Amino acid sequence: MQIIKNQKEANEWVREHTKNGQTCGFVPTMGALHDGHISLITKAKSENDWVVASIFVNPTQFNDPKDLINYPKTPELDHAALENSGCDMLFEPDVAEVYDNSYVFPTFDFGGLDQTMEGAHRPGHFNGVAMVVYKLFNIIPAQRSYFGEKDFQQLAIIRKMTNDFGIPTTIIPCPTMREHDGMAMSSRNIRLTPEERKAAPILFKSMVACKDLIDKYGLEKALQLTKEGIELSGVFKVEYVEIMNPDTLHPVTTTIEPGRSRIFLAVKASNTRLIDNLCL
Ligand code: AMP
């Protein structure tokens, strides 16, 4: 695997490797890689001739400066995991390479997709995400780009941004990888205390159980019981539990559509914040 830090060289690498009609799949990440990330690499590998990953902890998407400072970094392990999973090139720029002063970013309009959930709780977060992904898409002209449903709202926003700007890459959604006990894999999980880690499966279990609660008690009461159930663990404080239309990301207010409506949650533990979602 080749590691490239310079944007011009990374762009040339992709253009050179795809000049005879070969395809390239792109997997952007913030590093501290786990099997969820690797599942994206594996999928990209199965669908393209070449796979490019990026590792860049993007400062503009962190609304909490402490979260940015504490974001886990495991570069040696990441390089080995990418190499082993068949990644062909890693683009690993520093901050000045991505945010050089000469670059002019467009203004993004997410058509309201950013008004709920993560957008409502993390001011500026999605603008920062769109900035970095827009720039990465310019540097890495891949035919396909892979994003996890773990960050479902981010996936929706990137899909819209890609469409709005006519960026010629196809966005491929990938399912959420979970630990055996149901906890969604996340780079932030290593910041959980042992007690929080032990309690974490309640998040997945509560999302699964919510469907039955809706059938029994209706939507509003089911959401209230789900929130109370999670907080009874004594270790998580719920920021939101909501059921959304997967296209508009607006709350479902009356009846859910099985197989389409999605439950989303965000909770705070002592040192970290976790998000998860599930199709009902
Ligand atoms: P991150 O490094 O957290 O920015 O994530 C990079 C990519 O991996 C994003 O598209 C995420 O949605 C995806 N991802 C993160 N966690 C998981 C997971 N547990 N399963 C599948 N994809 C994931």
Ligand 1 pocket residue status of 151, Cβ below 6 Å: yes
Residue 102: is its pLDDT beyond 90?
Answer: no
Please report the atom of ligand 1 found closest to the CA of residue 184. Answer: 19
Residue 266 CA to ligand 1 center (angstroms) comes to: 16
pLDDT, tens digit (0-9, with 9 covering 90-100), for 148-202: 999 999 999 999 999 999 999 999 999 999 999 999 999 999 999 999 999 999 9
Residue nearest to atom 22 of ligand 1 (CA): 148
Please report the atom of ligand 1 found closest to the CA of residue 178. Answer: 19
Residue 30 CA to ligand 1 center (angstroms) comes to: 9
DSSP state of 30: -
Closest by CA position to 189, among listed 37, 80, 83:
37
Pocket test for ligand 1, best of 30, 77, 87, 150 (most atoms within 8 A of CB): 150
Q: What angle do CA 252, 255, 261 make, to 5 degrees?
A: 55
Rg (CA), the chain: 19
Residue 146: is its pLDDT beyond 90?
Answer: yes
pLDDT of residue 101: 83
Ligand 1 pocket residue status of 186, Cβ below 6 Å: yes
pLDDT, tens digit (0-9, with 9 covering 90-100), for 44-67: 999 999 999 999 999 999 999 999
Tokens read off for 53 = 């990953």
Cα–Cα separations (whole angstroms), residue 242 to 183, 184, 205: 18, 18, 15
Residue pointed to by tokens 């009356």: 254
Query: What pTM was computed for the model?
Result: 0.97
Long-range pairs, 163-170, Cβ under 8 A, ≥24: 164/109, 165/106, 165/134, 167/134, 167/137, 168/141, 168/143, 169/26, 169/137, 169/141, 169/142, 169/143, 169/144, 169/145, 170/143, 170/144, 170/145
Task: Cite the active site residues.
Answer: 37
Residue 108 CA to ligand 1 center (angstroms) comes to: 22
Please report the atom of ligand 1 found closest to the CA of residue 154. Answer: 12
Closest by CA position to 169, among listed 123, 128, 212, 138:
138
Pocket test for ligand 1, best of 29, 169, 171 (most atoms within 8 A of CB): 29
Residue 30: is its pLDDT beyond 90?
Answer: yes
pLDDT, tens digit (0-9, with 9 covering 90-100), for 204-234: 999 999 999 999 999 999 999 999 999 999 9
Residue pointed to by tokens 């886990």: 72
pLDDT, tens digit (0-9, with 9 covering 90-100), for 259-275: 999 999 999 999 999 99
Residue 150 CA to ligand 1 center (angstroms) comes to: 6
